[in-house]
């Protein structure tokens, strides 16, 4: 059994060590099945990007078109032998499949190929494990790893016979896999309990933010679409941005201001990919709830990516899965500086009906238009106000500046005249100072 797959519940190892390291040299394996939305080579391009992010060198690609997957090995017998020969020829120490393998397929393929086998889900989990920095992020990744590993324990301990029972037990004892499974389930319960505390804590923070009135605008999009760079540009922040998949994993919240002076909170969360593992969606529930409860979503799209619409569709699918499909959305077509002659590709489907702005987060072009579009969309949920605030109520003027969007401000004999929009939960103190329009005779 390959050394990388020593039991993750061995007393000498941490629970996440099973997926803590990736092979150095690996073959990439793609399968084309009927009704696949992504062309196999484009999907393998992304798999290679994921591999590079995890520190893996691709030694080549192998693809096979199938009418249906083989139950035992996914691929045909001849193709499995071809991969085994290439593994020896290129001196690979691993093979990565661009699909999620069943536990049985995983076990058989490792036996036939003689090297560790990863699937797409395992590779993404490795990257998340490498990049999680906060305690919450590490807890979420560890829970996802346990969910992934539980049904695959058999392949790690299939070489062990039953343990001998003691005289008191008068039995053969339990299989090591049964011990491992119990320990993993206990770890899973503990992690779920800790993450539930995190979720409750996050919910309290969201409720406090609602009380303050500052709207939350969540940046969502496919991984490497440029969300972190856009966050830095909009909020004058310095979050980590890198030309790699999942460069940013842990959620970030930054304050920004619109032209009218209104304060808002910008949220940047983990990027999405096609076939995002369900274990990760479940584990990152507390983080993704930030998206589902945001006042507005800015869907950042890599306009320079050749298969842009496929990425857009993948993001829309994940948004539906996490309960954010009904949130108001703005499309930000990013990286337009990379397009030849400024030729903007056309969106289709639901995305074609949404407000769209072209930007280059790196160069700063289109940012003013995006802020204006955000302001317009947020306006629809605000109360219009035309108020005259006495000069001795500077606190209300400051409140309007902090949470409202001001279209016009002037100074009159009776006080400061403000015309604009205010969140409903902050408009109450203003109502007594509304300007009453004189009726014409």
What does the alpha-carbon distance between residue 118 and residue 125 come to, in Å, rounded to a whole number? Answer: 10
What does the alpha-carbon distance between residue 232 and residue 230 come to, in Å, rounded to a whole number? Answer: 5
245 to 94, 303, 305: CA distances (angstroms): 21, 16, 14
pLDDT at position 242 is 61
Under 8 Å between Cβ of 424 and 380 = no
* Model confidence pLDDT, tens digit, residues 333-378: 999 999 887 688 899 999 999 999 999 999 999 999 999 999 888 8
pLDDT at position 244 is 60
pLDDT at position 12 is 30
- The pLDDT mean for the chain works out to 82
- In this prediction, residue 330 has a pLDDT band, given cuts at 50, 70 and 90, of very high
Please tell me whether residue 118 adopts helix, strand or coil conformation. strand
- Winning range, highest mean pLDDT, from 224-228, 259-263, 387-391: 387-391
pLDDT at position 22 is 85
Please enumerate in sequence order all residues whose Cβ is within 8 A of that of 31, keeping only pairs 6 or more positions apart, or say none.
40, 63, 64, 65, 66, 69, 74, 75, 97, 98, 99
DSSP character string of 389-439: E-TT-HHHHHHHHHHSEEEEEEEETTEEEEEEEEEGGG-GGGGGGBPPPPP
pLDDT at position 349 is 93
* Model confidence pLDDT, tens digit, residues 69-107: 999 999 999 999 999 999 999 999 999 999 989 999 999
What does the alpha-carbon distance between residue 65 and residue 117 come to, in Å, rounded to a whole number? Answer: 20
What does the alpha-carbon distance between residue 290 and residue 313 come to, in Å, rounded to a whole number? Answer: 21
Please tell me whether residue 48 adopts helix, strand or coil conformation. helix
pLDDT at position 313 is 93
The helix (H) or strand (E) run that includes residue 299 is strand 296-302
- Winning range, highest mean pLDDT, from 140-149, 205-214, 217-226: 217-226
DSSP character string of 149-168: HGGGHHHHHTT--PPPPPTT
The percent of residues above 70 in pLDDT, for the chain, comes to 82
Residue of higher predicted confidence among 153 and 175? 153
Across the range 51-58, mean pLDDT stands at 93
- Based on C-alpha coordinates, what's the Rg of the chain? 27
Residue 17 has pLDDT above 60, yes or no: no
Task: Give the phi and the psi of residue 12 in degrees, each rounded to 5.
Answer: -95, 5
Residue 6 has pLDDT above 50, yes or no: no
Residue 236 has pLDDT above 70, yes or no: yes
Global model pTM greater than 0.85: no
Under 8 Å between Cβ of 379 and 421 = yes
Under 8 Å between Cβ of 362 and 335 = yes
Cα angle at 334 between 333 and 337, to 5 degrees?
Answer: 115
pLDDT at position 171 is 37
What does the alpha-carbon distance between residue 131 and residue 246 come to, in Å, rounded to a whole number? Answer: 8
Please enumerate in sequence order all residues whose Cβ is within 8 A of that of 224, keeping only pairs 6 or more positions apart, or say none.
49, 243, 244, 245, 246, 247, 271, 302
């Amino acid at each position: 059994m390959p050394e990388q797959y020593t039991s993750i519940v061995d007393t000498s190892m941490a629970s996440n060590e099973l997926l803590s390291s990736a092979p150095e040299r690996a073959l990439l394996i793609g399968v084309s099945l009927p009704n696949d939305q992504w062309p196999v080579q484009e999907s393998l391009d992304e798999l290679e990007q994921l591999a590079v992010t995890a520190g893996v060198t691709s030694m080549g690609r192998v693809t096979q078109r199938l009418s249906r997957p083989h139950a035992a090995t996914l691929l045909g017998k001849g193709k499995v032998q071809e991969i085994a020969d290439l593994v020896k020829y290129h001196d690979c120490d691993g093979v990565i499949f661009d699909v999620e393998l069943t536990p049985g397929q995983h076990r058989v393929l490792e036996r036939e190929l003689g090297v560790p086998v990863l699937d797409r889900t395992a590779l993404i989990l490795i990257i998340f494990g490498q990049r999680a920095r906060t305690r919450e992020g590490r807890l979420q990744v560890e829970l996802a790893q346990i969910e992934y590993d539980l049904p695959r324990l058999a392949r790690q301990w299939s070489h062990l016979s039953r343990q001998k029972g003691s005289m008191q037990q008068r039995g053969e004892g339990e299989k090591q896999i049964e011990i491992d499974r119990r320990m993993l389930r206990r770890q899973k319960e503990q992690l779920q309990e800790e993450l539930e505390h995190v979720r409750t804590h996050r919910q309290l923070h969201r409720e406090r933010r609602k009380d303050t009135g500052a709207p939350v605008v969540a940046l969502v999009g496919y991984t490497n679409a440029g969300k972190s760079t856009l966050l830095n540009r909009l909020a004058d922040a310095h979050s980590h941005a890198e030309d790699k998949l999942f460069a940013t994993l842990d959620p970030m919240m930054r304050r920004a201001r619109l032209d009218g002076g209104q304060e808002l909170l910008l949220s940047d969360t983990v990027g999405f990919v096609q076939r995002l593992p369900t274990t990760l969606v479940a584990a990152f529930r507390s983080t993704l709830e930030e998206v589902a409860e945001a006042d507005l979503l800015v869907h950042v799209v890599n306009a320079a990516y050749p298969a842009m619409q496929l990425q857009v569709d993948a993001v829309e699918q994940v948004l539906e899965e996490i309960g954010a499909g009904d949130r108001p959305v703005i499309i930000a077509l990013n990286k337009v500086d990379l397009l030849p002659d400024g030729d903007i590709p056309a969106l289709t489907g639901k995305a074609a009906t949404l407000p769209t702005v072209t930007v280059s987060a790196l160069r700063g072009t289109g940012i003013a238009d995006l802020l204006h579009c955000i302001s317009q969309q947020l306006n629809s949920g605000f109360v219009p106000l035309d108020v005259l605030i006495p000069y001795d109520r500077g606190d209300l003027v400051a409140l309007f500046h902090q949470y409202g969007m001001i279209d016009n401000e002037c100074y009159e004999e009776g006080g400061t005249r403000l015309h604009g929009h205010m969140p409903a939960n902050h408009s109450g103190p203003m109502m007594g100072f509304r300007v009453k329009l004189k009726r014409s005779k």
